[in-house]
Amino acid sequence: MKILVIEDEIKTAKFLQKGLVEAGFVVDVALDGLDGLHMAQELEIDLLVLDIMLPGMDGWQILTRLRKAGRNSPVLVLTARDAVAERVQGFEFGADDYLVKPFAFSELLARVRSLLRRGSPRTQEIIRLADLEIDVLRQRATRAGRRLDLTAKEFLLLSLLARRTGEVLSRTLIAESVWDMNFDSDTNVVDVNVRRLRSKVDEPFPFKLIHTVRGAGYVLECEQ
């Protein structure tokens, strides 16, 4: 999968490239608007990460030109402003998703993955990871053949992590998906809930599946 990052702030561009490459993507970087537009038109890319405030040509202009030229690859817009009006404008210009600086890299990675996945939604009724098995329809989870006694919210949390195995999910995203809490404050509530879940899913078993990624969030994966 090839991603083009158009971002003029060198440090940001560098860590985006590094992080995305390590996540398994092929990444090209353009440091100004004109180069960026040129590369976006010439290269075959699967996704564009686009900063709005750029020298040469701003992100909205690039987006408009690309959409006019019939380029339909998904675009994730980065901006330092988060006025709602600007967000709406972004979607009108044809952006697929929107991220406000400062953002967690894990958040960006999750959104990149979900944008790339958008074409082929994965609907599984039963999710398996190592000895963990989750039956989404019947709301049952078992590990090593033993039924896990989970509350409704704990089950939701576990299936969210399982559906996105290997992805670091931020506390904000978890609060949003499980409790429908759409504000990012007091996220240690998520920690408490994850701790509870762990005590049921991981503690009685020899190896752990739920891992904390400091400063970023949680991930469900089998490290063996």
Partner 1 sequence: MFWNANSDTALQSRFWGSLAFRLTAGYAFAGLLLFFCASASLYLVLVTELDRSTELFLGDKLNVLRTMLRERPDDWDALREEIELESAARRYQQFYIRLLDDHGTPLLTTPGMEESLDLAEVARHTQGQGGPVLLKGRQGRSLRVTAASIPVGSSLTKNDTILVAVDISQQEQLLARYRQWFWTILVATFAIFPMVGYQVARHGIRPLEEMATTMQHIRSTNLRERILPEGYPSELASLAGPFNEMLDRLEESFERISRFSADIAHDLRTPVNNIRGEAEVALARARTVEEYRDVLDSCLEEAVRLSDLISDLLFLARAESPLTHLRRESVDVGQLLCGVRDYYEVSAAEGGVTFSTAVPAQPVIAELDRTLLQRAVGNLVSNALTHTPAGGSIVLETCAEPSAIRIAVSDTGVGIPPEALPKVFDRFFRVDTSRSQASGGTGLGLAIVQSIMLLHGGKVEIASQPGRGTKVTLRMPTAA
List residues near partner 1 by CB under 8 A: 82-85, 102, 104, 153, 175, 179-186, 188-189, 192-193, 196, 214-216
Least distance from partner 1 to the Cβ atom of residue 188, Å? 7
Q: What's the closest the beta carbon of residue 72 comes to partner 1, in angstroms?
A: 29
Least CB distance to partner 1 at residue 215 (A): 3
Q: How far is the CB of 160 from partner 1 (least distance, A)?
A: 15
Q: Looking at beta carbons only, is 67 or 179 nearer to partner 1?
A: 179
Residue type present at position 183: F
Shortest separation between residue 31's beta carbon and partner 1, angstroms: 23
Q: Give whichever of 33 and 79 is closer to partner 1, judged by the CB atom.
A: 79
Any residues with CB less than 8 A from the CB of 106 and at least 6 apart, and which? 167, 168, 169, 170, 213, 216, 217
Q: Which is nearer to partner 1, 145 or 215 (CB)?
A: 215
Q: 123 or 188, CB closer to partner 1?
A: 188
User: What single-letter amino acid sits at 119?
Assistant: G
CA 200 to chain centre: 26
DSSP state of 122: -
Taking the C-alpha atoms of residue 11 and residue 149, their distance in angstroms, rounded to an integer, is: 46
Indicate the residue among 39 and 216 with the shorter CB distance to partner 1: 216
Q: DSSP per residue over 133-199, as a string?
A: EEETTTTEEEETTEEP---HHHHHHHHHHHHTTTPPBPHHHHHHHHH---S-S-THHHHHHHHHHHH
